Structure 1
């Protein structure tokens, strides 16, 4: 069963002049127990898409979709506030900037205890308070914070960014969500700590059947932990398929470039050689190319690329490109 089924979701930034189409008709499906990666360069709209799903974008943004279903319920029939209430009840998100998301006026203990779901507590109110404290301690231990006593008494500014990120993960897990959206959950951590967090997320997926949307710019790292991957570029859908399909036989030139630039693909090149990269950089919102937004940087670009390509499916492997690499294999 599909937990989340979003079709042709668009996000516009409302300006004084014409609105800017930041995300252009992106589709995303997440099944029960699935770990899906959402990959792309910084500025590709990954975080914006996740925030639109959570309903936390402010009034400057306008969100529209052909379909927005959560566990079979059509959320487009609800108001934005009602849609947010349904989603936040079952979905939790780990944001990219933990220091900006934590309340600077409350201790970590107070914020964690508040995040604990009341349905998990039993007995009278005086026993529930003790249960909340115990649940907060267990959550910190679960995300690898050993000195939980000091952490619970601290304010966010007294902790490192890496510790704040772990606290954010603990607060997300406190809800016992059906879907966890992890936006660069290990960005501020060392490699050894990154592995610990990814193993924690994997165990939650396996033991609790928790679905996970793992957002990252690192395609190679995501392949170790995901079942399926969706690739975005400059707010447009590029490619989607199983992790093996995306990493071993990418159909889109952009995905091919991401694979070719990974350390695993360049392990045999001479020392100090240049890695494979696409020319140019991702366009800014004020100057988006028409049609396929990769066109100005794409090595396979032709005249037809000024028109937006349609999504083609090859046995579940989807690609949005006029001149895909499918025939190259």
Structure 2
């Protein structure tokens, strides 16, 4: 049984222009101990999916789903209190805006200690000292060189990269079963990015923490993730094991992402124009009918005005009328 099973999740937003579907029939399966990557352009709905899983929707959201299960329990049937308790123990998230997610009126140390689980073996006069030392240990693990100074600082006194590291420490200190990382290495230098991904990999291997990583960097996700899901404009284009998806993409959008990755082995001319898909992602108020990639897709045909259903071939899932490699497709049996 999968740890997280989401089927046909749709999120509608109330806007001045009427209701728009920011996510449409998105499915996601995450097994225990798996690292799953969500890749897509900005505005593809990756963060909306993460917030829907955690149970922190916006005031203008309408969420519907055929199935939304967590370890055999129906998330859609849980109360707000039950969802908050679940988020405080079994689920955690590293938010994309770290400085905006921290309380500016409290020190970083006090917020970190509040997020950490209490030590039941410590005497009451030792609990504060023990929590402080443990918080410093987690800050050191995520790459903060002076944890004592950061502990006594406020969020507005720290850089964006330091706030991001503090958010990562708060998320992993509780040792959740599922960690959702929304652009976890944003605003960080390359050496620190590698350190953070190694830390997440250690959590996954040593403590069996399932991780859902959200990023637009396909090259990075391909290195660390077991499975990948490709989103475009609120729809799942393709999903499957990382190695198979990278080596043999079925969907034209996935192939375009791979073809347009920078090639560092060759010598490019100065200010050479990199290959891209024509056009740009549509606004939510002007979404095309059928497949949302249709106006930009190099393989688009008349049939693409009808939205393709999620099809599968072995352990690969994709939504395309004309997939590459001529694979035999069937409708998703688990929907």
Output one character per residue of 1:40-68: Cα deviation in whole Å (capped at 9) or x when no partner. 00110001111111111222111111001
User: What pairs with 1:106-125 in structure 2 (closer than 5 Å)?
Assistant: 106-118=106-118, 120-125=119-124
How far has the Cα of 1:203 moved from its partner? Answer: 0.9
The CA distance in 2 between the partners of 1:267 and 1:308, in whole Å, is 39
Output one character per residue of 1:170-210: Cα deviation in whole Å (capped at 9) or x when no partner. 00012110011000001110111111111111111111111
The CA distance in 2 between the partners of 1:4 and 1:269, in whole Å, is 44
Output one character per residue of 1:284-313: Cα deviation in whole Å (capped at 9) or x when no partner. 111111110001111111111111101111
TM-score (structure 2 length as normaliser): 0.93
**Alpha-carbon distance change, 158 to 53 in structure 1, aligned in 2, over 3 angstroms:** same
The CA distance in 2 between the partners of 1:240 and 1:5, in whole Å, is 14
Is the Cα contact below 8 Å between 1:257 and 1:276 reproduced in 2?
no
The CA distance in 1 between the partners of 2:27 and 2:84, in whole Å, is 19
Q: CA RMSD in A?
A: 1.5
How far has the Cα of 1:81 moved from its partner? Answer: 4.5
**Alpha-carbon distance change, 151 to 121 in structure 1, aligned in 2, over 3 angstroms:** farther
The CA distance in 2 between the partners of 1:297 and 1:149, in whole Å, is 52
How far has the Cα of 1:123 moved from its partner? Answer: 3.2
Unaligned segments of structure 2, at least 5 residues = 328-335
SS at match of 2:213: strand
How far has the Cα of 1:149 moved from its partner? Answer: 1.0
Map of 2:182 onto structure 1: 183
The CA distance in 2 between the partners of 1:116 and 1:194, in whole Å, is 24
TM-score (structure 1 length as normaliser): 0.95
SS at match of 2:228: strand
Map of 1:77 onto structure 2: 77
User: What pairs with 1:139-218 in structure 2 (closer than 5 Å)?
Assistant: 139-218=138-217
* Count of residue pairs brought into register by the alignment: 326
SS at match of 2:59: coil
How far has the Cα of 1:80 moved from its partner? Answer: 4.4
SS at match of 2:114: helix
**Alpha-carbon distance change, 283 to 88 in structure 1, aligned in 2, over 3 angstroms:** farther
**Alpha-carbon distance change, 304 to 84 in structure 1, aligned in 2, over 3 angstroms:** farther
How far has the Cα of 1:222 moved from its partner? Answer: 0.6
Map of 2:331 onto structure 1: none
**Alpha-carbon distance change, 145 to 270 in structure 1, aligned in 2, over 3 angstroms:** closer
Matched, 1:306 2:305: yes
Map of 1:318 onto structure 2: 317
How far has the Cα of 1:269 moved from its partner? Answer: 6.1
Unaligned segments of structure 1, at least 5 residues = none
How far has the Cα of 1:136 moved from its partner? Answer: 0.7
The CA distance in 1 between the partners of 2:84 and 2:148, in whole Å, is 34
SS at match of 1:92: strand
Is the Cα contact below 8 Å between 2:308 and 2:320 reproduced in 1?
yes
How far has the Cα of 1:16 moved from its partner? Answer: 4.8
Map of 2:332 onto structure 1: none
The CA distance in 2 between the partners of 1:280 and 1:64, in whole Å, is 31
**Alpha-carbon distance change, 20 to 84 in structure 1, aligned in 2, over 3 angstroms:** farther
Matched, 1:25 2:20: no
SS at match of 1:224: helix
How far has the Cα of 1:169 moved from its partner? Answer: 0.1
The CA distance in 2 between the partners of 1:102 and 1:312, in whole Å, is 41
Output one character per residue of 1:227-263: Cα deviation in whole Å (capped at 9) or x when no partner. 0000000000110011111111111011111111112
SS at match of 2:126: helix
